[in-house]
Amino acid sequence: MIKSSLFLIVLLTINYITYSQNINPPKGRIAVVADGNSPDPDDLGGTAVSIALLRASGLEDRLVHYSHSCDLVRDDRISEQAEKERHHLMQIACDMTARRWGGFEHLTFYDALWQKEETINDLCWAINASTKEDPLWIIEAGEPDIIGMALQKTPKEKHKFVKVVTHHPANDNAGDFYSWQHILDFGIEEVRIPDQNINLKLNHGEWDWAKDHKDPRMRLIWTIGNIAEIDDVVTFQKGKWDCSDAGMVLYWITGANVNNGLKQSSMEEVKKILLNYLIENPENKRKE
């Protein structure tokens, strides 16, 4: 009995150390600009996982801006009705995940198209607060236009303290008002990592552990991401559960280009961080 208890303690200690070593963010704050109102609904799962990862890593207070629906010109591939649905779904993905996982009371999740001025101003505040010791890391999880508009309104001397993380040229080159070169011309630092779809856009069944998890917070994330699979606007998400944009957030959480962050994220890394948090913070205990 004593040997079994000691073994369990050692196992938990090793697990905790391994988990702790993964959380090594660079100095500074983080901002996320996502779309989700465009034809591809993958930002639903990406948003839910990103918010949960920041909370599970104890970094929720360093998230200073989160906006969604940054596709400012509707694509012909999505109808006006479906576009409107996406705005509401993305807001739910933000607000409900933040409420259920907790810790984001300081933040307003903005709709970049429907609250365009407020969104740009909020990102401007984050840019203006940036210094060498407290830079801003912007996660480009959608088109670059909102980022460009915020950079346009802020002092050029602040831009050297701004880093934009990107993983896919489909986002970089999708702007209606700003190209990726325009973003670079502001003098920001480009932080480019490999395509995160490789290990985070997986066959649907590989996420069954989340669907079947006993904690409703985990099932909530699965449900939000599952909407992309049952969406009828695009076909390339069929049979897939996709949170690819969250790979950029995980890259930042694990160190980014300062502390040798995880450049090619995987479901197993996401799973480890989220499940460790749920084990240490059971929902009934949190409510008490």
Residue 164 lies in a domain: yes
Q: Yes or no: say if 242 and 221 are a contact pair by the CB < 8 Å rule.
A: no
What range defines the domain where residue 131 resides?
28-287
pTM above 0.85, yes or no: yes
129 domain residue, yes or no: yes
pLDDT at position 283 is: 85
Count of structural domains, the chain: 1
| Burial (0-12, 13-18, 19+ Cβ within 10 Å), 201 | buried
> Residue 17 domain-assigned?
no
Residue 11 lies in a domain: no
| pLDDT of amino acid 22 | 87
* Predicted local confidence at residue 280, as pLDDT: 96
Report the C-alpha gap between 71 and 224 in whole angstroms.
Answer: 20
pLDDT at 10: 42
| 67 lies in some domain | yes
Residue 53 included in any domain: yes
In a domain, 23, yes or no: no
Q: pLDDT of the chain along its 288 residues, tens only?
A: 554 444 444 444 444 434 444 899 999 999 999 999 999 999 999 999 999 999 999 999 999 999 999 999 998 999 999 999 999 999 999 999 999 999 999 999 999 999 999 999 999 999 999 999 999 999 999 999 999 999 999 999 999 999 999 999 988 999 999 999 999 999 999 999 999 999 999 999 999 999 999 999 999 999 999 999 999 999 999 999 999 999 999 999 999 999 999 999 999 999 999 999 999 999 876 555
Number of continuous H segments (helices) and E segments (strands) in the chain: 14, 8
Q: pLDDT tens for residues 139-162? A: 999 999 999 999 999 999 999 999
CATH no. for residue 145? Answer: 3.90.245
Q: Measured between alpha carbons, how far is 229 from 282 in angstroms, rounded to an integer?
A: 29
Any domain includes 241: yes
DSSP calls for 208-249: HHHHT-SSHHHHHHHHHHHHHHH-SS-STTTTEEE-TTHHHH
